[in-house]
Amino acid sequence: MTHDLDTLAERLRTGDRRALARAITLVESGRADHRAQATELLAKLADPRREALRIGLSGTPGVGKSTFIEAFGTRLTAQGLRVAVLAVDPSSARTGGSILGDKTRMERLSRDPRAFIRPSPSQSELGGVARRTREAVSLCEAAGFDVVLIETVGVGQSETLVAEMSDLFVLLIAPGGGDELQGVKRGIMETADLILVNKADGDMKSAATRTAADYAGALRLLRKRPQDPQGFPKALTVSAETDEGLDAAWSEMQALAEWRRAHGHWVARRAEQNARWFAEEVRQGLLARLREDPATREAMERLSRRVADGTLPPSAAAAQVLDQLPEASGR
Amino acid sequence: MTHDLDTLAERLRTGDRRALARAITLVESGRADHRAQATELLAKLADPRREALRIGLSGTPGVGKSTFIEAFGTRLTAQGLRVAVLAVDPSSARTGGSILGDKTRMERLSRDPRAFIRPSPSQSELGGVARRTREAVSLCEAAGFDVVLIETVGVGQSETLVAEMSDLFVLLIAPGGGDELQGVKRGIMETADLILVNKADGDMKSAATRTAADYAGALRLLRKRPQDPQGFPKALTVSAETDEGLDAAWSEMQALAEWRRAHGHWVARRAEQNARWFAEEVRQGLLARLREDPATREAMERLSRRVADGTLPPSAAAAQVLDQLPEASGR
């Protein structure tokens, strides 16, 4: 596929969802010519005035993430907001996604003209997924979306990755007893700006209320962060079934975003995220070069045999390869 | 700290746990001189004949992972086996660990003279944790341990990482209904050699049996892998409280390991893992060099300002930095 990049950029800027989908396909591509086009397209579209609220959303399987996004997203579009949903799912790298596809769980939202839903790409490594998602976020902003929801599953590295491309980070959890509370890692608690206890309806309502109180208590034990106004991070109950609590959750997100804007944290956080992304891009590019260098490839193949049979440790073999490389500054 | 590496290697080879602990501290260190020593120590100790059964163990918070390791590990040491327990916990990178330390949950095992327990290191990036854990596994093998349990939490990249340094991968889950089954990602299901449904005791026993049957059914839906004998992967119930099912689980692990040894999969898998680790070491070393190069650092600082304010996309800025680097093969 060749792209008339100017036309694509122009159509994308008008908010055309098909142009947006095509542009995301371009940034997802592994082909070198597509990568060059993607870089050019992103440079054309760079416009700091087009800015969405980027909300990272995490929760382990079973907490009702898709149902939440369906209900929450529909509420935002009903207010006239344009909402994009992107996903970072490291487990889909291997098999191409969860047993149930996400889009089928967001039927209403996927038909909504103010919404745009894009499932996780099936890329081979988390680094690739990260780049594609960061660039897709930029494209959604250039297309004039007001809110970009970046969804991820559970604990681990994918959560950190999503937090690093979001303005706000929301952790969705299920109602549960004291045991579960102990199981939540401090690292995740400290990343969250808002903890939403889902399924606060029917039989589960009182359990959800208790769980939210438990988490609110736990959050108070953590060190106050400079980027938080009084009372944040908060733990609230929501129900994606009855819509209860969704408006309150949205108000809290807006209040937090406004406060951070007013106090300089918004700009500082985005600048820091951009800087980190830039460094990451340089690293990735460097690795791609190394893979193309014949001398390095030859040395690695030669040492690989001894590494494979266990007589030479990988660290010692790597030291030998690196010793034969030219200095980066040796021009 | 300076190390007489020959003495350390000798003591470690006799199975001395203090020497093992010191050696792991050395591979965990970020100092350049320590790294050189660690590389030398690992080369001294490289001995393909000293091989443990490396068991990767994953489970989300709350499934009873520590209790399981305590019960399972104690059973192995009672048979005369020497058992090492290592942990990969990406969330501990930020805050130094979970709210409850793991060692306090494995009181019996941590006092057992045939066991060695080492908590997750608090390193800043998953790559560092991965290297340290892989090298710690090698050190445990050199120290003559028979079984190395490598524990990790939940879904995501840390699970893949642990699977890539294990001979067997065990997924520990809690009893639950059909909903949870749908939530398990195929990528994780396909990584597991054995799914153990924990808490199969008291009130939970019948739920655990049902869950195991559900997972066994789901596993049958997956494509057969060449490295599996008939009937694998399996789903079984265990109870870390009553010890029920632990011996059966161990028998299955041994049977699977023996089959893979006999059919060449064991050697092939280890060779492939070593090759991947080698490539990773080369990448890490290359990145470390880049950080030390003044010209690259200067270019990055200059472009960083435009990246930070959003007028230059990170991908375009990275392309400019990479364009000024010398060719890797330009010697």
Would you say residue A297 has pLDDT above 60?
yes
Nearest to A88 by CA among A122, A115, A116: A122
- Kindly state whether residues B51 and B179 are assigned to the same domain: yes
- Kindly state whether residues B80 and B177 are assigned to the same domain: yes
Distance of alpha carbon A192 from alpha carbon A281, whole angstroms: 26
- Kindly state whether residues A178 and A54 are assigned to the same domain: yes
Give this prediction's pTM: 0.63
- Kindly state whether residues B196 and B223 are assigned to the same domain: yes
A268 in a structural domain: no
ipTM exceeding 0.85? no
A15 in a structural domain: yes
- Kindly state whether residues A109 and A207 are assigned to the same domain: yes
Give the chain B residue nearest A49 (alpha carbons). Answer: B310
- Contact between B183 and A126 using a beta-carbon 8 Å cutoff: no
- Kindly state whether residues A250 and A283 are assigned to the same domain: no
- Kindly state whether residues A243 and A95 are assigned to the same domain: yes
Burial of A331 from C-beta contacts in 10 A (0-12 / 13-18 / 19+): exposed
Comparing A287 with A281, the larger pLDDT belongs to: A281
Nearest to B75 by CA among B261, B256, B254: B254
Computed over every residue of chain A, the mean pLDDT equals: 84
Q: Domain containing B147 — which CATH number?
A: 3.40.50.300
Distance of alpha carbon B262 from alpha carbon B239, whole angstroms: 31
Q: Print the domain residue range for A34.
A: 1-46
pLDDT band at B107 (very low <50, low <70, confident <90, very high): confident
Tell me whether B207 touches chain A (CB under 8 Å): no
For range A81-89, the mean pLDDT: 91
* Torsion angles phi and psi, residue B114, rounded to 5: -90, 0
Q: How many domains is chain A built from?
A: 3
Coil, helix or strand at residue B59: strand
Q: Domain containing B5 — which CATH number?
A: 1.20.5.170
Judging contacts by C-beta atoms under 8 Å, the chain B residues touching residue A43 are 312-313, 316
For residue B278, what are the CA distances in angstroms to A157, A316, A319, B87, B171? 22, 9, 10, 21, 27
Nearest to A196 by CA among A249, A145, A242, A153: A249
- Kindly state whether residues A142 and A240 are assigned to the same domain: yes
Give per-residue pLDDT as tens, B193-247.
Answer: 999 999 999 988 999 999 898 888 878 777 778 899 999 999 999 999 999 999 9
Mutate to test the interface with A, among B27, B278, B296, B312 (most CBs of A within 10 A): B278
- Kindly state whether residues A98 and A236 are assigned to the same domain: yes
Give percent of chain B above pLDDT 90: 47
Q: What is the pLDDT of residue B91?
A: 55
- Contact between B185 and A153 using a beta-carbon 8 Å cutoff: yes
Find residue B237's DSSP bridge partners.
B197
- The whole-angstrom distance between B116's CA and the closest CA on chain A is 23
A267 in a structural domain: no
- Kindly state whether residues B42 and B56 are assigned to the same domain: no
Last residue within a domain, chosen from B238, B262, B286: B262
- The whole-angstrom distance between B254's CA and the closest CA on chain A is 22
Give per-residue pLDDT as tens, A106-148.
Answer: 889 999 999 999 987 665 566 677 888 999 999 999 999 999 9
A331 in a structural domain: no
- Kindly state whether residues B76 and B105 are assigned to the same domain: yes
- Kindly state whether residues B177 and B152 are assigned to the same domain: yes
Computed over every residue of chain B, the mean pLDDT equals: 84
